[in-house]
Amino acid sequence: MHIHFTHNKILFMKKLAVTASLLGMILSTAMAQDKWQKDHPRRSEVNHRLNNQDKRIHKEVKEGEMSKGEAARLHKNDHEIRKEERGMAAQNHGHITKQEQKKLNHQENRNSKKIGN
């Protein structure tokens, strides 16, 4: 069986192979960065605090110490902090600087004081 390819088909196949190769490299780099980003100590600390505050808010509502409206406002504040953290990390190759961490911690502290014990 003889397969005959036209010049255009050969060029298309070459372009397709190069595109697939580049896509593979991009995906493997992105996967490596995701692991590094997720495990970055400053980001982990900020996000751990946000997760802890989320649990505290739920506990306060469950125990009748906080209204659902106040809980919604605090959750919104925490969501904005998390969004800001992600934006900072996106600008810094997946990590946040010490100064950015300090800023985020200050915002978390303000929200934390409104939660209670």
Instruction: List the chain domain ranges.
Output: 7-39, 41-117
Mean pLDDT, range 29-58, rounded to an integer: 77
Return the higher-pLDDT residue of 94 and 8: 94
Per the CB < 8 A criterion, the answer to whether 101 and 46 are in contact is: yes
Q: What is residue 14's predicted lDDT score, i.e. its pLDDT?
A: 74
Q: Quick one: what percent of the chain has pLDDT higher than 90?
A: 53
Mean pLDDT, range 60-76, rounded to an integer: 94
| Range in 17-31, 48-62, 75-89, 101-115 with the lowest mean pLDDT | 17-31
Q: What is residue 10's predicted lDDT score, i.e. its pLDDT?
A: 75
- For residue 99, which of 45, 42, 52, 49 has the smallest C-alpha distance? 42
User: Which residue in this structure is represented by tokens 């925490």?
Assistant: 78
> Which band of pLDDT confidence, cut at 50, 70 and 90, is reported for residue 36?
very low
Return the higher-pLDDT residue of 92 and 1: 92
Give the Cα-Cα-Cα angle 63, 65, 66 (nearest 5 degrees).
115
